């Protein structure tokens, strides 16, 4: 059974750092790309970052480039999100999600197929 | 980043009646290969988002045929021919042409 469990959330002051973890079970996470997606209170989903299955590629939302870093430790089946220089508007529930690849007419497409339960990050002075 | 705009943001529906959600992107999502890189997800209350439509108009496995996606370029629509009670939740369009961007979400409720 596929399971993703996020941890590491909490309260941080503006300008400080937090590292989130997403531990996978029920599948080999090194075979899948992994995303971080967040949801601010009362708001919709916002994609943050993705790391390719082999770590070869990483992409970020423009507003977090240079502040957030996605990484993975395949030996621990875990993906991380290092968040530095936190801002009040980073307050949100952070979810990790697995990326699956489908094929349509021979063309690959990527979609989110499994999500964790989320971890709450509150940035406040 | 590509900006995705959904409307309406709130959609009261009646079971058995049709429903429609619009999604517009700030840039064309039509790839030179001919596919529109636009997906639709439904997040039911208390659940994770589930894929409904991929590449603009293709139903994901197990999705009822009352759901359909259409559009091309910058304008897309999700239609439900006859709403059922289990369809309530928040619907998101997502562009996948340049990384990923979600729309604001449309809350459908009966």
Residues A33-42: pLDDT tens digits? 999 999 999 9
CA dist., res. A36 & res. A24, Å (int): 13
Is some CB atom of chain A closer than 8 A to the CB atom of B5? no
According to the model, what pLDDT value does residue A55 have? Answer: 87
Q: How far is CA A20 from CA A47, A77, A98, B19, in A?
A: 15, 14, 16, 39
Smallest Cα distance from A75 to chain B, Å: 27
Q: What is the pLDDT of residues A46-94, one digit of tens each?
A: 999 999 999 899 999 999 999 999 999 999 999 999 999 999 999 999 9
According to the model, what pLDDT value does residue A105 have? Answer: 86
Query: Chain B interface, mutation test: which of A2, A6, A45, most B Cβ atoms within 10 Å?
Result: A45
According to the model, what pLDDT value does residue B34 have? Answer: 85
Q: What is the pLDDT of residues A105-120, one digit of tens each?
A: 888 899 999 999 999 9
Residues B62-88, mean pLDDT to the nearest whole number:
97
Spatial contact of A13 and A85, defined as CB atoms under 8 Å apart? no
Q: SS3 for B64?
A: coil
Cβ <8 Å between A111 and B48: no
Cβ <8 Å between A111 and B54: yes
For chain B, the average pLDDT equals: 95
């Amino acid at each position: 059974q596929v399971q993703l469990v996020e941890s590491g959330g909490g309260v941080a002051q503006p300008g400080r750092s937090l590292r989130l973890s997403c531990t996978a079970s029920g599948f080999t996470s090194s075979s899948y790309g992994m995303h971080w997606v967040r949801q601010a209170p009362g708001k919709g989903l916002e994609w943050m970052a993705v790391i390719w299955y082999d770590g070869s590629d990483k992409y970020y939302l423009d507003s977090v480039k240079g502040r957030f870093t996605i990484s993975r430790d395949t030996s621990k089946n875990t993906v991380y999100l290092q968040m530095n220089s936190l801002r009040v508007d980073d307050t949100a529930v952070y979810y990790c999600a697995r990326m699956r690849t489908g094929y349509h007419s021979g063309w690959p497409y990527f979609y989110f197929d499994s999500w964790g339960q989320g971890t709450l990050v509150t940035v406040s002075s | 980043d590509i900006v995705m705009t959904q409307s309406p943001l709130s959609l009261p529906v009646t079971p058995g009646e049709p429903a429609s959600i619009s999604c517009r992107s700030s840039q064309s999502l039509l790839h030179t290969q001919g596919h529109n890189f636009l997906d639709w997800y439904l997040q039911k209350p208390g659940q994770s988002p589930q894929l409904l439509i991929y590449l603009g108009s293709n139903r994901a496995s197990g999705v009822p045929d009352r759901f359909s996606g259409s559009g091309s370029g910058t304008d897309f629509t999700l239609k439900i021919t006859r709403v059922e009670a289990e369809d309530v939740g928040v619907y998101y369009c997502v562009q996948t042409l340049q990384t990923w961007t979600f729309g604001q979400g449309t809350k459908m409720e009966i």
